[in-house]
Amino acid sequence: MTATAFPAATPPERLLLGPGPSPVHERVTAAQARQVVGHLDPWFLEVMDQIAAMLRVVMRTANPLTYAVSGTGSAGMETAVVNTVEPGDTVIVGINGVFGGRIADTAERAGAEVVRIEEPWGRIIATDRVAEALQAHPGAKFVALVHAETSTGAHQPLEEVGALLADTDTLFLVDSVTGLGGVPLEVDDWGVDVLYSGTQKCLSVPPGLAPVTFSAKAEAVLDARTAPVRSWYLDVSAIRTYWGQPAGGGSAKRAYHHTAPISALFGLHEGLRMVLEEGLETRWARHAEVGELFQSHLEDRDIELLAQQGHRLPQLTSFAWPEGVDEGALRSRLLDEHGIEVGGGLGTFAGTAWRVGLMGEGATHANVDRLLDAIDELRER
Amino acid sequence: MTATAFPAATPPERLLLGPGPSPVHERVTAAQARQVVGHLDPWFLEVMDQIAAMLRVVMRTANPLTYAVSGTGSAGMETAVVNTVEPGDTVIVGINGVFGGRIADTAERAGAEVVRIEEPWGRIIATDRVAEALQAHPGAKFVALVHAETSTGAHQPLEEVGALLADTDTLFLVDSVTGLGGVPLEVDDWGVDVLYSGTQKCLSVPPGLAPVTFSAKAEAVLDARTAPVRSWYLDVSAIRTYWGQPAGGGSAKRAYHHTAPISALFGLHEGLRMVLEEGLETRWARHAEVGELFQSHLEDRDIELLAQQGHRLPQLTSFAWPEGVDEGALRSRLLDEHGIEVGGGLGTFAGTAWRVGLMGEGATHANVDRLLDAIDELRER
């Protein structure tokens, strides 16, 4: 075996306008270059407390149990599911794209019976359908909905379902991987019990961490478990003490669980600072304005938007190319000749659709212009 | 709710001589500051291929299925266990410290019956005891041993057990979180079937990724599963295609599973380049020399080493303070007054022991001197 090393990996210039990762400000990438410290260093434990505090602001929650999972958004999803589900539980999952399906898959692996509320891709899940499912399965452990379906661009309303579940024993579990920081989200006011997100979408932080929060109602469910959580790595009951958020409150000694990803947490800390400097509501407004501008330009060109009218995410737009357009070839040329990344369609939309993200640092008028100009130039040739 | 941001997190100067994270060279932290690219960018997929190729060199394996899990070393442990175990399986686990216990815990959560081979902390697991356990449980799915017990500093021999298992259907699963890059490890020659490690020990890369490899024998076990893997996030059968390592070989299209932690992978790429530039055997020799020097200095001072003589890791030394020494206070002063981090004891050793890591960039003569001088100064006052 020869000990061959490769040359340094120097990335090509890219403008990230796909479904994530989004562009990262150099303040955040620079934070990841800071000197590594120990995961139990008292100074670092304070940084973690600050991250949790800033996450609460961005999530609009006072939940004590709020932290960043040491994995990507999908690890946040798995954390939410495996900590709440016990074998034999029934759960209700809205499926109108890839990510609802993923919740259902994970819940089944955790031993749940899954009741699926299915809608065509791009549509939202109506509150009535949730109410019906709940009536048929009154003891359901949770209802799960995807706030911002990254595979379709559908923008799921949450408030009515939260109200519906408030007086029941059923938890409201929400995937806001692509929502957090981009569109309004009110965890406490909307009655969301378990929320997970990712860093690489509207927070504009590199992928690798998954913010999560659990309400008091959700905490009671965690406390009442009789079966062990099927994952050791994602077991909230063990990790929460490391984050200084012990069961029952108070200030238990911070105990080692696993070695936290220090550099990634430095990046998240700096990214959250930037979100709060801009102001959460200003950031929501910026995403709305830029995304709607882009979508109106597409409609001007008779391009079909795939998410249901009135329920479109501004930060993630899916649209279908007319027949005859080779979307894959066009996408490759956009990357190779213009250095712009966009996403192809997933599942039902594979081979015909694009997904354009105008998220975080990427949500600017200049990027809308640059993308449309590049597309026009490529299609004219 | 007020949108209060915190000041930037500027780390204090630290010399990391604990059980991990180890000191990180600025070439590696700087790599984490590179521009983020997409996880399906063809350029990035090549970077991943290079990481896998360098991991094979460092692990001394030709296993095609070799990649970095998107989580810390414990996520590598969970990947190894949950992908091999099906409910009702019997597994044999050597427990002589924290990390063997963690494998057993995870295997039980995955539905296994665990046969424990227990030894006092600091001792190794004798091959005879593995042979006995295997005779009593001939259909065991795996035998798991910890190559480098981070909680004790014990250095487990692997070669004989590998030979013992070679002609059986039982897999050899090895935790080398603290071993990889620091002491000799020959995955192929020693018959290791499933190996996991971490980045933040002897590779001197920040925490956040877990290198893993699976032999052909292990792959056959994965392929023959009938029960779904209990984790979605860590399911090898789904992730391997993203890493360009599809079942059955060949070059299937790289498919999205989850968004890879791009920045962390840049760091690992650069860190592996540095390991190969130094040369693996040179690196092993450096760890051996520096660790043995430190241990001989401790013995000169009549300090009791806790790992079994003849089986001590050079990169991780555990020792007991004489009665009357307040180890916690001394450790705090070492951090506050000298900026040096070391680790306290875990479990059995809590409150009496220290764990000193001389790992990766930390394994230098100068660091041994600096640490000993600081300890002497603190104890004289």
Cα–Cα distance, A227 to A89 (Å, whole number):
11
Q: CATH number of the domain at A15-20+279-380, please? A: 3.90.1150.10
Residue ranges per structural domain of chain A: 15-20+279-380, 26-276
Among chain B residues, the shortest Cα distance to A71 is held by B71
Does the distance separating the beta carbons of B232 and A78 come in below 8 Å? yes
- pLDDT tens figures, B286-316: 999 999 999 999 999 999 999 999 999 999 9
Q: Look at residue B154 and give its three-state secondary structure.
A: strand
Does the distance separating the beta carbons of A5 and B38 come in below 8 Å? no
Query: For B354, phi and psi rounded to 5 degrees?
Result: -120, 155
- The reply to whether omega before B246 is within 30° of 0 (cis) is no
Is A381 exposed, middle or buried (CB count within 10 Å of its CB: 0-12, 13-18, 19+)?
exposed
Among chain A residues, the shortest Cα distance to B58 is held by A3
Q: Which CATH class is domain B15-20+280-380?
A: alpha beta
- pLDDT tens figures, B148-185: 999 999 999 999 999 999 999 999 999 999 999 999 99
Q: Look at residue A21 and give its three-state secondary structure.
A: coil
How is the beta sheet containing B304-305 ordered, strand by strand?
B304-305, B316-320, B353-357, B343-344
**What's the pLDDT score for residue A253?**
87
- Please say if the pLDDT value at position B137 is more than 80: yes
Amino acid present at A79: T
* Cβ proximity of A318 and A355 under 8 Å: yes
* Cβ proximity of B181 and B58 under 8 Å: yes
CA B36-B39-B42 angle, to 5 degrees, is 100
Q: Would B15-20+280-380 and B26-276 be classified into the same CATH topology?
A: no
B78: left (phi over 0), alpha (psi -120 to 50) or beta: alpha
* Cβ proximity of B65 and B193 under 8 Å: no
* Cβ proximity of B355 and B344 under 8 Å: yes
- B3, B74, B102: residue with CB nearest A280: B3
- pLDDT tens figures, B330-344: 999 999 999 999 999
The pTM score is 0.98
Give the residue from A240, A265, A244 showing the smallest Cα distance to A253: A244
**B240 or B250: which carries more pLDDT confidence?**
B240
For range B136-152, the mean pLDDT = 97
What count of CB pairs under 8 Å joins A to B?
A: 279
B301: left (phi over 0), alpha (psi -120 to 50) or beta: alpha
Which residue intervals of A118-172 are DSSP H helices?
127-136, 159-166
pLDDT in tens, chain A (381 residues): 344 679 999 999 999 999 999 999 999 999 999 999 999 999 999 999 999 999 999 999 999 999 999 999 999 999 999 999 999 999 999 999 999 999 999 999 999 999 999 999 999 999 999 999 999 999 999 999 999 999 999 999 999 999 999 999 999 999 999 999 999 999 999 999 999 999 999 999 999 999 999 999 999 999 999 999 999 999 999 999 999 999 988 878 898 999 999 999 999 999 999 999 999 999 999 999 999 999 999 999 999 999 999 999 999 999 999 999 999 999 999 999 999 999 999 998 999 999 999 999 999 999 999 999 999 999 987
**What's the pLDDT score for residue A2?**
45
- A1, A108, A341: residue with CB nearest B38: A341
High-pLDDT (> 90) share of chain B, %:
96
Partners of residue B56 in chain A, C-beta under 8 Å? 1
Which residue shows structure tokens 């299937």? B252
Our measurement of the distance from residue A57's CA atom to the centroid of its chain's CA atoms, rounded to an integer in Å, reads 16
Does the distance separating the beta carbons of B206 and A273 come in below 8 Å? no
β-strands A113-118, B194-196 pairing = unpaired
Does the distance separating the beta carbons of A264 and B78 come in below 8 Å? no
**What's the pLDDT score for residue A5?**
78
Give the residue from B364, B292, B318 showing the smallest Cα distance to B149: B318
Q: Torsion angle of alpha carbons B32, A363, A320, A125, nearest 10°?
A: 100
- The reply to whether omega before B64 is within 30° of 0 (cis) is no
Residue B205, both tokens: 């890369």
Q: Torsion angle of alpha carbons A87, A89, A91, A97, nearest 10°?
A: 20
Cα–Cα distance, B315 to B358 (Å, whole number):
5
- Please say if the pLDDT value at position B353 is more than 70: yes
CA A280-A361-B46 angle, to 5 degrees, is 135
Residue A151, both tokens: 């595979």
Does the distance separating the beta carbons of B5 and A277 come in below 8 Å? yes
Amino acid present at A146: V
Amino acid present at A307: A
Partners of residue B280 in chain A, C-beta under 8 Å? 3
**What's the pLDDT score for residue B1?**
38
Helix or strand run (H / E) with residue A370: helix A365-380
Partners of residue A1 in chain B, C-beta under 8 Å? 56-57, 60, 62
Residue B60, both tokens: 């001394």
Cα–Cα distance, A115 to A314 (Å, whole number):
30
3-class DSSP string for B212-265: EEECHHHHHHHHCCCCCCCCCCCCHHHHHHHCCCCCCCCCCCCCCCCCCCHHHH
Q: Which CATH class is domain B26-276?
A: alpha beta
CA distance A77 to chain B (A): 9
Q: Which residue, among A98, A232, A331, would best test binding to B if mutated, counting the most B CBs under 10 Å from its CB? A: A232
C-alpha distances (whole Å) from B268 to each of A264, B155, B287 are 13, 25, 20
Which residue shows structure tokens 């295609």? B241
Q: Give the count of beta carbons closer than 10 Å to the beta carbon of residue B323.
A: 6
Which residue intervals of chain B are DSSP H helices?
26-31, 42-59, 73-84, 98-109, 127-136, 159-166, 216-223, 236-242, 262-278, 280-300, 327-338, 365-380
Q: Look at residue B110 and give its three-state secondary structure.
A: coil
Which residue shows structure tokens 């299925």? B65
What does the DSSP assignment read for A202-222? TT---SS-EEEEE-HHHHHHH
Q: Check if the interface score ipTM surpasses 0.90.
A: yes
Residue A102, both tokens: 């993923």
CA distance B128 to chain A (A): 30
Among chain A residues, the shortest Cα distance to B20 is held by A38
